[in-house]
Amino acid sequence: MNNALFLSLPVSTQSEVKSILSAYNDCSIEKTKSGEYKVIICVAIHCGEYNEQLGSINKNDIFTADEQIINYVKSFRDYPIQYKGKKDYILLQGDWTNAVMIDGNVIIN
């Protein structure tokens, strides 16, 4: 992980960022006047609270290439275009809780 913004966030907000970036490429971080952090996937043109924009985080900043493939499969039940390993479409319907990448192939432990 090489993103200073991500590392500066509270643990609960980091978890929310990871959850969002498991399915999306980018998210933005805002801080409200009350000090609450908001993780958003789009920035509104007008924000009623006039939140402070802290920056954005890309999935490449916090996930390895293998983790991104696992996240994609868990989110969409399909293989991403960059996946070059064995494709088992029956496996896609299973439980992905313990999925890992081994030698370029998705394996469920």
Task: Count CB-CB contacts under 10 A for residue 34.
Answer: 7
| pLDDT of 104 above 90 | no
* Helix or strand holding residue 16 (H, E): helix 11-21
Domain ranges across the chain? 4-62, 65-108
- What is d(CA 13, CA 6) in angstroms, rounded to the nearest whole number? 9
Structure tokens at 90: 């029956």
What pLDDT is attached to residue 46? 54
φ/ψ of 74, rounded to 5, equals: -65, -40
When pLDDT is averaged across residues 51-60 and rounded to a whole number, the result is: 88
- What is d(CA 43, CA 32) in angstroms, rounded to the nearest whole number? 14
| pLDDT of 2 above 70 | no
| pLDDT of 21 above 70 | yes
**Of 17-26, 32-41, 100-109, which range is least confident?**
100-109
Structure tokens at 68: 């991104």
